[in-house]
Amino acid sequence: MNRLLGVGVSPGIAVGPALVVEREAAPVFRLLRAADQVEGEVERLTRAVAASRKQLQAIKDRLSRKADVPHAYIFDAHLLMLEDPLLQDRAVAVIREDHVNAEWALHAVSEQLHEMFDGFTDAYFRERSTDLDDVLGRIQLNLGGAPDAPSLSRLPGSFVLVARDLTPSEAADLDWERVLALVVEGGSATDHTSILARSSGVPAAVAVRDATREIPPGAQVVVDGSRGEVVVDPSDAALAAYRAAQEQDRIEDQRLQQTRTLPAVTRDGVSVRLHANVEFPEEAETALLYGAEGIGLFRSEYLLGRSPEWPGEERQVEVYRRLLDQMRPHPVTIRTWDVGADEMAPGGPTSPNPALGERALRLLRRNPGPFRTQMRALLRAGAHGPLRIMLPFVGGPSDLEPALALVAECRAELSEQGKDQGRHVPVGLIIEVPSAAVTADLLASRVDFFSVGTNDLIQYLLAVDRADPRVAPLYEPLHPAVLRVIQEIVRAAGAEGLPVSLCGEMAADPLHALVLLGFGVRELSMSPAAIPRVKEAVRAVTIEAARDAALACLSLPTAREIETMLRHELASALVPAGAFKE
Ligand code: PEP
Ligand code: MG
C-alpha cells in the first residue's frame, strides 16, 4: 500500500484500476496486455512501421523529382533509422517482455535512444535526435490509425486516470463517462481541468507529486477527491474504510438533494439567486437537478472542443436556444469566447505568456470574425428566452468599446436582414482583471450587469498563477485585497443600480458565500453540485449576521485571521447550527 497526498479538487471517493497517461505530441497510454494479445501488438507495430516506410519513400520520391529541392537525402536518413534494428527490434522486445501496447513500447525505446543520442560528443549525431523524433512520431501516428486505438476521448475501459497534466482542450474532450477519478501531478482547484472534473462529478486530486511514477498501470487505486488522497494497492482494511465513507457520501448527497425545491432565502427573508456554471450544454439537466435557478456562466469556448474550426452561426443559435429551452423560465448567461489563455482556441494560444496575452476580447481586434458570428447567434437566440451576454477579460472602458460597438453593428445587421433578435438582451461583463475592478464605477454605466470572476481576479490581483500547485497556498480568496476589491465592485454597481453576481469558484464555498452575501452580492453562480450546500448555509443565516461578519473581515490583516474569525462568528450564527467544512 502506498499513500500519496495532493489537493482534493472534486469531492467523492472512487476505486478502480489506474490508467497512466504519458503525453508527448499526442497522449501515450501504458496498457498492460494479456499474454494472448502480445503478438497482436507486435503485428500492429510491424504494420505501422511498414506504413511509415511507404510514406517516407513517397515523400522522398516526390522531392527527388523536384530539381530545386535538394533535401530528399534527409529522408534516406529517416528510412535508415526506420530499418535500424535498434528501433523496431527493441520495441518488439519491450512488447514481448513487458506485455505492453505498441505505443508504449515505442515510447520506451524512444527514451533509450534519446539518452544514447544525447551522449554523442559529435554535434552532427546529437542533432539527429530531431530526425529520430520525426520518425518515431510518424510511427506513433500510424499506430493511432488502428480502429481500436485508445485515446483520451475513447478510453479503453473505466479507469482512474493518472496524468502529469491535462490541457483544458484535452479535458474538454475527455471520455468523462469512463473516468472513475482523476489524478494529476500539476493543477489547482481553479484550473479548468478541475472545474470540469467537478462539473462531471468525477472525484479528482491535483498536485499529486510523481503520480505517474508512483502509480503502476493497472494497480488498484483509491482516490478521495475531498482530501486529495490517493492510495495505491490499498489493504483490505483501508478499502473497507473507503467503501464505508463512499456510502456516507451517498447518504449525504441524498439528504442535500432534498433541498432542491426549497427557496434560497435567508432567515430574515432575503432572496438569493443560486445559478450554475456549466461548460457543456448537456449539463443544464444536472444544474436543474441540483436546484439551479439559472445559468450564471456558460463557458461557451467549450463548444470548440479540439476542433480546428470556429462553430458556425446556425449551430450556435441552435445550442443557445436549446439551453434556454432546458432552463426555461430561468435566465441563461452566456460568456463570449474566452480563448487564448489556454489551449481553447482553434490554433492554440499565440502569446508567449498567454494569461497576460492576446486573450478573449483582445483577439477581437485581430480576428473579429468569430466574435461577430457569436454575437449574431447570441442576439438571435435572445429572441427565444431570457439570454444574457457576458463579456470576459475586460480591462476597462476602452476594452469595452469595441465589444459594445460589435453588439450594435450586429443588431443593425440583423434588423437589415430581417432576422429575429431579442429586443432587450442584457450585456454585462465579468470583472476579473484588477483594472476593471478599479474602474468599476466607470464601467457600471455602460453595461447591464456585473459578474465578479474571482478565479482570475484573485490570480491577477495577488499575482498568483491559478494553475500552479507550487503557489497554491498563496491563492487566497479571503485575502484582504480580494475582499476590499469585491466590496468596491458591489458598491460601484449599487450606485448605478446594477445587479452583481459572482461566478468564481469562491461562490461554491459556503463560508465564502456568506461573506459575499454580507457584502451585498445577491446572485452566486457555481458548479451545480455545490448549490445544495451553499443553499443550506444561506437558509441558516441572517443578512445581518453575514453583514457583520463581512465588515469584521475588513479590519483583519491576513486571510488566515479572517478565516478563523469567520468560522467562529458565522458558525455560531447559523440556525440550525452548522459547521463549515475545513
Ligand atoms: C473567473 O475567472 O472567475 C471565471 C468564472 O471564469 P474562468 O474560471 O473560466 O476563467
Ligand atoms: Mg476568468
Closest CA to 497 of 520, 525, 526, 524: 520
Question: What grid cell was written down for 5?
Answer: 497526498
Instruction: Report how far residue 371's alpha carbon sits from residue 375's, in angstroms, rounded to the nearest whole number.
Output: 6
Instruction: Report how far residue 45's alpha carbon sits from residue 53's, in angstroms, rounded to the nearest whole number.
Output: 12
Instruction: Report how far residue 359's alpha carbon sits from residue 158's, in angstroms, rounded to the nearest whole number.
Output: 36
- Using only C-alpha atoms, what is the Rg of the chain? 27
Helix or strand run (H / E) with residue 450: strand 449-452
Instruction: Report how far residue 51's alpha carbon sits from residue 224's, in angstroms, rounded to the nearest whole number.
Output: 44
Percent helix, percent strand, percent coil in the chain, to nearest 5: 50, 15, 35
Taking only the tens place, the pLDDT of each residue in 73-128 is 667 777 888 888 888 899 999 999 999 999 999 989 988 888 887 777 776 666 66
Which residue, by CA, sits nearest to atom 3 of ligand 1? 453
Distance 60 CA to ligand 1 centre (A): 49
Distance 167 CA to ligand 2 centre (A): 16
Q: Which residue has the higher pLDDT, 544 or 571?
A: 544
**Does the pLDDT at position 186 exceed 70?**
yes
Closest CA to 457 of 497, 495, 427, 487: 487
Instruction: Report how far residue 57's alpha carbon sits from residue 78's, in angstroms, rounded to the nearest whole number.
Output: 10
Taking only the tens place, the pLDDT of each residue in 496-528 is 999 999 999 999 999 999 999 999 999 999 999
Question: What grid cell was written down for 137?
Answer: 512520431
Which residue, by CA, sits nearest to atom 6 of ligand 1? 453
Helix (H, G, I), strand (E, B) or coil at 451: strand
**Does the pLDDT at position 68 exceed 50?**
no
Q: Are the CB atoms for 293 and 531 separated by under 8 Å?
A: no
Q: Is 92 exposed, middle or buried (0-12, 13-18, 19+ CB in 10 A)?
A: buried
Residues with CB under 5 A from ligand 2 (ion): 432, 453, 456
Question: What grid cell was written down for 100?
Answer: 505492453
Distance 504 CA to ligand 1 centre (A): 6
Helix or strand run (H / E) with residue 72: helix 72-83
In the prediction, which pLDDT does 146 show?
52
Closest CA to 14 of 166, 222, 248: 222
Closest CA to 226 of 11, 53, 19: 11
**Does the pLDDT at position 30 exceed 60?**
yes
CA 363, 499, 415: angle at the middle one, nearest 5? 55
The residue from 107, 192, 330, 384 that is catalytic is: 192
Q: How many CB atoms lie within 10 A of CB 26?
A: 14
- 26 — pLDDT class (breaks 50, 70, 90): low
**Does the pLDDT at position 67 exceed 60?**
no
Question: What grid cell was written down for 294?
Answer: 439559472
Taking only the tens place, the pLDDT of each residue in 235-250 is 999 999 999 999 998 9
Q: What lines the ligand 1 site, CB under 6 Å?
A: 297, 299, 338, 432, 453-456, 503-504
The residue from 78, 503, 512, 553 that is catalytic is: 503
Q: Are the CB atoms for 527 and 280 separated by under 8 Å?
A: no
Q: Which residue has the higher pLDDT, 495 or 147?
A: 495
Residue 503 designated active-site:
yes
The residue to mutate among 199, 344, 455, 523, having the most atoms of ligand 1 within 8 angstroms of its beta carbon, is: 455
In the prediction, which pLDDT does 53 show?
87
Residue 568 designated active-site:
no
Q: What percent of the chain has pLDDT over 90?
A: 64
Q: Is the pTM of this model over 0.85?
A: no
Taking only the tens place, the pLDDT of each residue in 155-164 is 888 999 999 9
**Does the pLDDT at position 70 exceed 50?**
no
